[in-house]
């Protein structure tokens, strides 16, 4: 069981991870969700003892990562694509990894086969496409047959075929009873694969709940009404004990409304309707709303922060560090 206790990481005056506490449930896929720059990669690096927490700690079965003997047998991780020496072959890359954790050499061929890289096993990594690099990274993670797998934005930059492959792989791993912890900045991606969700924004925990619970809470439905007779419509709704919120372009929205009932109501009051349409808020919208609130929360009572200029902050991190 991986547990984070008040994990905090500061880079200079940038607070990347802010008092984060949660545990990763075992045997399911947990989506680790947050907008770019939320602190997902930093958190994952701290789980692996690559970056040192400013305060707080991560324990894995009660121990620190650095205290684990042959850690690849416990946790396999894909942090960034192509963290491979370009002049080394896929086979040799997996071989040194296997040797370091006393994994039998035969396993190298096995994982190469699992990720479909057998044909290019003796080719140097410099010629690999992003997708092949990603597959090699996944082969490294699977190499020592660990119970827990951690993937940082594994579908980034992949073509649809690659995305589908990764999605199926994660489902298969969870079906085998493994723990999968996978980050993404896209809700839509997580909705397809995750059983559990941990959402962070600006380094802080925003939500830690099951996917089912998230859907139940956030898939808000409403009915949109549009009419030339606004006054009469609002009176009719009021009379029926319903409240309407102003929607886009002069429309009105009734949360959790029933379209049939609203149509009857309008007819009974002789209100002409130009639109009567059920609306379903997407999970993506729910996620964006959740993280947008975190922005406001941090800004205090004032106005929401203006959206960042494109490309702003491109150099506010150390060279060689991927955000």
Partner 1 sequence: MAAFPAVAQSEWTKIRSVRSTVWSLASVFLITVALGLAIGLVARNNSSDFTEDGGPFDATAISLIGVGFGRLAIVVFGVLAVGNEYSSGMIRVSLAAVPQRGTLLAAKVAVLGALALAASLVTVFVTFFVGQAALGGGLSTSLGAENVLRAVFGTALYLTLLCLLSAGVTVMVRHQILALAILVPFILLVSPLLSLVPVVKNWIKYFPDQTGGAITQVFPTDDLPYGPWTGLLICAAWTAAALVGGYLVLRRRDA
Residue ranges in contact with ligand ADP by CB under 6 A: 11, 14, 16, 34, 36-42, 316-318, 321, 323
71-100 positions binding partner 1, by CB under 8 A? 71-72, 77, 79-80, 82-89, 92-93, 95-100
Q: Given the complex with partner 1, which of 15 and 295 has the nearer CB atom? A: 15
Enumerate the β-bridge partners of residue 280: 221
Q: How far apart are CA 311 and CA 91, in angstroms?
A: 38
DSSP letter at 63 equals B
Decide if residue 54 touches partner 1 (CB under 8 A): no
- Per rule CB under 5 A, is residue 42 in the interface with Mg ion? no
Give the residue with the Cβ less far from Mg ion, 43 or 251. Answer: 43
Which residue is listed with tokens 């680790």?
A: 32
Looking at the chain, how many residues does it have?
323
Range 117-176, binding partner 1 (CB under 8 A): 140
Of 32, 310, 81, the residue nearest 187 (C-alpha): 32
Q: Give the binding range for Mg ion (CB under 5 A) out of 5-13, 37-45, 111-119, 262-270.
A: 37-45
In angstroms, give the least distance from the CB of 90 to partner 1: 11
Which residue lies nearer to ligand ADP by CB, 47 or 98? 47
Pairwise CA distance, residues 179 & 55, whole Å = 26
Backbone φ and ψ for 173, nearest 5 degrees, come out as -60, -40
Per rule CB under 5 A, count of chain residues that contact Mg ion: 1
DSSP H or E stretch at residue 265: helix 259-268
Here the tokens at position 313 are 């902050």
By CB under 8 A, residue 177 contacts partner 1: no
CB of 210: closest distance to ligand ADP in angstroms? 22
Three-state secondary structure call for residue 35: coil
Q: Hunting for tokens 């949360």 — which residue is that?
A: 255
Residues that bind partner 1 (CB under 8 A): 45, 48-52, 65-66, 68-72, 77, 79-80, 82-89, 92-93, 95-102, 140, 320
């Amino acid at each position: 069981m991986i547990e984070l206790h008040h994990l905090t990481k500061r880079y200079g005056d940038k607070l990347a991870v802010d008092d984060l506490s949660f545990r990763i449930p075992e045997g399911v896929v947990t989506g680790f969700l947050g907008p770019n720059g939320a602190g997902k990669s930093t958190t994952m690096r701290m789980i692996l003892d690559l970056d040192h927490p400013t305060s707080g700690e991560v324990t894995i079965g009660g121990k620190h990562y650095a205290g684990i003997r042959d850690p690849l047998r416990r946790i396999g991780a894909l942090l960034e694509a192509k963290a491979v020496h370009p002049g080394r072959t896929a086979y040799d890359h997996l071989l040194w990894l296997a040797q370091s954790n006393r994994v039998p050499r035969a396993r190298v061929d096995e994982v190469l086969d699992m990720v479909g890289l057998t044909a290019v096993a003796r080719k140097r990594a410099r010629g690999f496409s992003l997708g092949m690099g990603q597959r090699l990274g996944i082969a490294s993670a699977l190499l020592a047959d660990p119970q827990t797998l951690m993937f940082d934005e594994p579908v980034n930059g992949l073509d649809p075929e690659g995305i589908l492959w990764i999605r199926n792989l994660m489902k298969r791993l969870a079906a085998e009873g493994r723990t999968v912890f996978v980050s993404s900045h896209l809700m839509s991606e997580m909705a397809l694969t995750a059983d559990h969700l941990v959402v962070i924004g600006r380094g802080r925990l925003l939500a830690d709940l099951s996917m089912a619970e998230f859907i139940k809470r956030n898939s808000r439905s409403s009915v949109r009404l549009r009419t030339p007779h606004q006054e009469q419509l609002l009176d009719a709704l009021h009379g029926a004990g319903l409240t309407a919120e102003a929607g886009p372009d002069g429309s009105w929205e009734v949360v959790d409304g029933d379209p049939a009932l609203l149509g009857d109501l309008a007819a009974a009051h002789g209100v002409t309707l130009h639109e009567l349409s059920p609306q379903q808020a997407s999970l993506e919208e729910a996620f964006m709303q959740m993280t947008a609130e975190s922005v406001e929360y941090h800004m205090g009572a004032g106005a929401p922060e203006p959206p960042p200029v494109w490309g702003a902050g491109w150099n506010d991190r150390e060279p060689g560090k991927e955000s």
